[in-house]
Amino acid sequence: MYDIIIIGSGPAGLTAAIYAKRAMLNAVVVEKDYMGTGQISVSERVENYPGLYGVSGYDLGEGFREHALALGTEFYDGEAKAIAKESDYWAVTFSDGRVLEAKAIIYAAGTSYRRLGVEGSEKQCVSYCAVCDGAFYQNKIVAVIGGGDTALGDAAYLSKIAKKVYLIHRRDEFRANKSLQAQVNAVENIEFILNTTVTKVNGGDKAEELVLNRNGSIDTLKIDGVFCALGSLPNTELLKGVCSLDSFGYIIAGEDGATDAKGLFAAGDVRTTPLRQVITAAADGANAVTSAENYLRSL
């Protein structure tokens, strides 16, 4: 039996692994995607992680993983499907039926992309990752949907590849940080389409046209590709009935990661928190291990 099973191998989970190793705890990191490092791996450039100005998200994630590996972290590949408290320990059941047991759990499974969910939007060519798929749109016309940091960052990234980038946002105000807004505003081949929603994606194998609702009036926009950057939803489906979640599905837990289920701790973007960044996820991972250590001492 492990001391701690850490579920998730993004910045929160990998930091928890580093702190668990340093605390000489018997811990294992469960990862769904082989050698994945979470959503940070697809951020083109991170400008706010102290000491690593302008690092690529991929390199930052790999740095976390290498650090955890250097300390001897054990990894386990599998998709956790159920988590249950069995008297004084926790059992995690995987999709292939395997079971792991531990005295405590740190749940750091992050979030998944919010889908567009309109007709035609589940085509393979509707992308949720500009860094992964941008290269296919050399000198083409693309649209980015959303108004947060990801959408504006994606628009800036794609403007260097595509001929034209439409940034479509449902309001006339962006949620993205002001410096990114100023940066994107200055790019000539990015055009803002505001107060507008996409109601349909037309095309065959590839997206060819968007149907737009511009403040009530319907028209169409020819494009070669479409990128969605609509924010994220917490990966907490398997925690329903295990611990308290807020109305959006985030795990209710303070900075110490403690949930209302004894021995279950939350870290990173899955937790109710005012800020979801790499730095807050990493800090959560460290705090959750300290809380888990105190819990283990109390057993």
Chain contacts with ligand NAP (rule: CB under 6 A)? 43, 46, 48, 114, 145-151, 153, 170-171, 175, 197, 229-232, 276-277
Nearer to ligand NAP, 22 or 115 (CB): 115
Minimum CB distance to ligand NAP, residue 114 (Å): 6
Nearer to ligand NAP, 95 or 112 (CB): 112
Nearer to ligand NAP, 118 or 252 (CB): 118
Residues with Cβ < 8 Å from 178, sequence gap 6 or more? none
Q: Tell me the C-alpha distance between 181 and 66, whole Å.
A: 34
Nearer to ligand NAP, 25 or 116 (CB): 116
Question: Do residues 12 and 110 make contact, with C-beta atoms less than 8 angstroms apart?
Answer: yes
Question: Do residues 280 and 14 make contact, with C-beta atoms less than 8 angstroms apart?
Answer: no
Residues with Cβ < 8 Å from 6, sequence gap 6 or more? 13, 16, 17, 20, 27, 28, 29, 30, 105, 106, 108
Minimum CB distance to ligand NAP, residue 211 (Å): 14
Nearer to ligand NAP, 61 or 147 (CB): 147
Catalytic residues: 129, 132-133
Minimum CB distance to ligand NAP, residue 98 (Å): 33
Residue nearest to ligand NAP (CB): 148
Residue among 155, 112, 113 nearest 134 (CA): 155
Query: Number of H helices and number of E strands within the chain?
Result: 6, 17
DSSP 115: P
Q: Tell me the C-alpha distance between 35 and 37, whole Å.
A: 7
Minimum CB distance to ligand NAP, residue 39 (Å): 8
The two tokens of residue 27 are 């811990």
Handedness of CA 171, 175, 179, 184 (dihedral sign): negative
